[in-house]
Amino acid sequence: MKVNINAVHFKTDNKLEQFIEKKVGKLSGLYEGVIGSDITLKLDKAETKENKIAEIRIQIPGYDLYAKKQSSTFEEATDTALSALKKQLEKHKRKFKK
């Protein structure tokens, strides 16, 4: 599976990229039809502590699944977005098994 990580207005470190690739890679184990994924990391301009945004788009045949979450760290935002995508994938699998 192809994983594209885009950071808006900052440079990610290797540790963060490896964390994201590992977590996203687990999603492809749940569903064989995952073609690729696009992850966009942004910093919100708000002065709050929870100013890190992770947007994840998963491509599967015929569909794109999308989740956007905001948190105090990119790792936490990625985790919550991936758990939302996991639910979407499971729902998609059930829909097409019938």
DSSP string computed for 21-36: HHHHHHHHHH-TT--E
The 10 Å Cβ neighbour count of residue 87 is: 12
**Which one has a higher pLDDT value, 97 or 16?**
16
The pLDDT, as a whole number, for residue 96 is 72
The mean per-residue pLDDT over the stretch 19-31 comes to 85
Confidence label for 94 from pLDDT (cuts 50, 70 and 90): confident
The mean per-residue pLDDT over the stretch 23-29 comes to 84
Domains in the chain (CATH in brackets) are: 2-97 (3.30.160.100)
Element (H, E) at 14: helix 14-30
Please state the pTM of the whole predicted model.
0.88
Q: In this predicted model, what pLDDT tens digit does every residue of 50-93 receive, in sequence order?
A: 889 999 999 988 889 999 999 999 999 999 999 999 999 888 88
Angle between helix 74-97 and 14-30 (nearest 10): 10
**Which one has a higher pLDDT value, 30 or 58?**
58
